[in-house]
Amino acid sequence: MAYLDHAATTPMLPEAVRELTTQLAHTGNASSLHSAGRRARRTVEEARERLAAALGARPSEIVFTGGGTEADNLAVKGLYWSRRAADPRRRVVLASPVEHHAVLDAVHWLADHEGAEIEWLPVDEVGRVHPEALREAAERGPERIALATVMWANNEIGTIMPVLELAEVAAEFGFPLHSDAVQAIGQTEVDFDGSGLASMAVTGHKIGGPYGVGALVLGREHTPEPLLHGGGQERDVRSGTLDVPAAAAFAVAAELAAERRRDFAAQVGALRDELIAAVLAAVPDAVLGGDPNPAGRLPANAHFAFPGCEGDSLLLLLDAQGIQASTGSACTAGVAQPSHVVLATGADPELARGTLRFSLGHTSTAEDVAALAAAVGPAVERARSAGLS
């Protein structure tokens, strides 16, 4: 099996597995005052410190959540509610059209249920939001803006956004900027303190940690309205009993991702370049998605559109050969829909239906790339033949 879907989830690191299993043997609610509770609280606070150090944040800025989706929803909805409550004119949400659905659907929900006005920030042909686009939107009336949200790096096509420059514009006009940094951690430099962001979403299972745990990195000056009400944990913005073992394992994975980032980027980036060359050699008319400049895309990402193919069909043909990848398209009622990310870059809808993402990780090998190189050409031929029949 050649697993080429690390952007969806990557195998847990052995160090994170050991931390998780060690902590699972202990009992204690981190909110309890007895000795077992205090031990659990100490574990959580140590994890908070380690995670903060890995992300360039202060421990008080780490709000543990159940994953990246919850972190994005808490930031987008919570900041909108709190900003609108302070000034009813603040109803505009500025968002890029290439966001992950965790952000995209939260923004749409605010428009459908909370009276939000969405203004989409244009992207260029590689899916990048430029600071000038954010400035132009801000100049139309900063007093109207509740928040802006632009991901750090795109999950489908791998394009890295100019987050620091975007945050400078947001600060100049006085509104918060949130960023989904789920894909960026461990692949490109992420420093929350130096970014100028108001908030940032991260998750464990993309970097070798466990499923079901993430964090919203939240500047101390921001107090979003909570999604969950209860015991008032996590700065009273995310109630709920903390998953102590998961938080500890997440912190270990984040720490190792930060320590190994440069080596990971160099080694996996070289393997990614081999993969791109192999696919283009096998299918010369394949179209590389995202920024063609390696410096402008995630080192583990290779995204292609295959003319004349349905992405789902090609995915299943490769899967039958033991090669696991993903398609950016959504399937509704059995009908494949083109990727919203690829469409936002101006691509033809037919081309956008035939996309696949190959993503590498810490267990990827040259043998994985060789297996794809041998299988992708015949798979594309079969997919095209099926489309013509």
CA-CA distance, 211 to 383, in Å (whole number)? 34
Query: HSE on the CB side for 76, CA within 13 Å?
Result: 32
Task: Single out the residue of 139, 169, 5, 149 nearest to residue 79, CA to CA.
Answer: 149
Contacts of 199 (CB under 8 A, 6+ apart): 75, 79, 176, 178, 179, 216, 217, 218, 219, 222, 224
Residue 335's CB is within 10 A of a number of other CB atoms, namely 8
Annotated catalytic residue, options 316, 331, 366, 386: 331
The tokens describing 111, both together, are 């428009």
SS3 label, residue 120: strand
Q: Of how many residues is the chain composed?
A: 389
Task: Single out the residue of 343, 348, 299 nearest to residue 96, CA to CA.
Answer: 343
| Phi, psi (rounded to 5 degrees) for 169 | -65, -45
Task: Single out the residue of 304, 318, 313 nearest to residue 158, CA to CA.
Answer: 304
SS3 label, residue 101: helix
Q: What is the 3-state secondary structure (H, E, C) of 282-306?
A: HCCCCEECCCCCHHHECCCEEEEEC
Annotated catalytic residue 331: yes
Would you please indicate which residues are annotated as catalytic (active-site) residues?
Answer: 331
